[in-house]
Amino acid sequence: MLAVSTERSIAIVLLAVVVVGWAIYVFVNIRQAKSEAGSEIELAPNRGNLPDDEELEGRRLEKVQAFGVLMLLIMALVLPVYWMLEGGRRSGAETSFSEAAVSRGEAVATAAECFDCHGADLGGARFAPVVLDIGHQFSDKESFIINTTWEAPSLDDVFTRFDTDAETLDEVTEVRQILVYGRGVMPAWGLDGGGPYNDQQIDDLVAWLWANRIGADQDAADAADDEVLREIVASAVGDDEVAQILVDEAADALDDDPLNEEAHARATARFEAARASDVYAGASDGKILFDLHCARCHTPRWPGRGTAQLPNNGGTVEVLPGPDGAGRYGPALNSVSLARLFPDIEDHIKFVADGAADNVAYGQFARLGNYGMPGFKRVLTEDDIRKIVEYERSLDPQRQAAIGFDRLHEAGDNE
């Protein structure tokens, strides 16, 4: 911002000098002008006695030439200065535009009440109100409406699950698609998906999420270090493009670990807390990791588990999650379906690590991916992902289909 202020001050001074100089020039010419003393026929310059060559090529010509030299000197001095300051001016403008987009995005997020569902710190919360019809899960009821809260995911680490390879805001596509078309119980927010916000507002929301992602400060520091390194290399090799290639190759060689340290630390803390709880006494690591990272989409009613309110003060009902991996937003996962889709377990592990790319085929049947399946390589280690995959491939499809209704829900006051 200091560079921007300095450049603006210099520009204002130069503008003032030009304006004042032009005003003086106009004033002097007006003062020197004489009122018409006769007819045009008598006073027209081409009808009078013109100066001879000695006069024209004397002081008058020297004045014009001196003025031309002065203009050349001004251009010779101003243009290089402008060229040197242009990079900082553009950088400052980009920063200003980015900050304005983030500010507008926060205003849109506030109006859309994103914080109510995802938490004031964007760390996720169990505040999202949802109305569900679970009547088909009771053998004697066709309709069973409940009011419950949904466990909304955290947003400050959304770029560790989606758009995991994006290095700049311009490379973000999956998160934008989710905002436009919705996902799970979250409604569509973009006009193309039937929501209330136009493309500019969606872009501002994405900019706000990008600015508030975990590790954003570290990414900015790394980018600044890369720029300094590029300038050093460029001065050594004498070519900016070659320097950029060398810096990128060096960064790729050093950054061979895709894990986001903060996201991984958060996931590890959640795992340790679950491991220490009585709920998971005797459970395998794969089971715990599956519940923490996969059950939201692949286990029925997992995000809505817990006590739910019946309408019209009709009491409560305890919503219990369905069988592990039986399918909800995502497909059912079990030993049969996964063996068919991924005969090689290593392909399965890679898919969970990378996620499903939009319109890119995956698996044995060349299914087309979309933005629904995130990647976990920036959150979990390869060993953790392998444990999840092994647990998923151990699930019994018959058990998923055989659990009775009474095992899924326990009625409360309005039984």
* Every domain of the chain and the residues it spans: 95-121+156-215, 217-257
Burial of 143 per CB tally in 10 Å (0-12, 13-18, 19+): exposed
Q: Rounded to whole angstroms, how far apart are CA atoms 169 and 164?
A: 12
Q: Which position has the higher pLDDT, 295 or 320?
A: 295
Give residue 63's Cα distance to chain centre. Answer: 60
pLDDT of residue 247: 57
SS3 assignment, position 38:
coil
pLDDT of residue 141: 59
pLDDT digits (tens, 9 = 90+) for 197-215: 999 999 999 999 999 998 7
Mean pLDDT, residues 325-350 taken together: 92
What the block records as the tokens of 14 is 């130069």
Terminal-to-terminal C-alpha distance of the chain: 65
Asked if residue 208 lies in contact with residue 109, where contact means CB atoms within 8 angstroms, the answer is yes
pLDDT digits (tens, 9 = 90+) for 220-240: 545 555 555 555 555 555 556
pLDDT digits (tens, 9 = 90+) for 44-88: 667 667 777 777 777 778 888 888 898 888 888 888 888 777 777
Task: Using pLDDT thresholds of 50, 70 and 90, give the confidence band for residue 404.
Answer: very low
CATH number of 95-121+156-215: 1.10.760.10
Mean pLDDT of the chain: 80
Check the CA dihedral 335-338-340-346 and report its sign. Answer: negative
pLDDT digits (tens, 9 = 90+) for 133-162: 665 555 455 666 777 777 888 999 999 999
**Residue 22 CA: distances (Å) to CA of 68, 98, 376:** 15, 37, 65
Task: Using pLDDT thresholds of 50, 70 and 90, give the confidence band for residue 217.
Answer: low
Mean pLDDT, residues 316-342 taken together: 88
Closest CA to 351 of 379, 330, 335, 375: 375
pLDDT of residue 238: 58
pLDDT of residue 229: 55
What sections of 135-198 are H helices per DSSP?
A: 174-181
pTM: 0.68
Cα dihedral: 121, 125, 131, 135 (round 10): 160
- Does 243 score more than 60 pLDDT? no
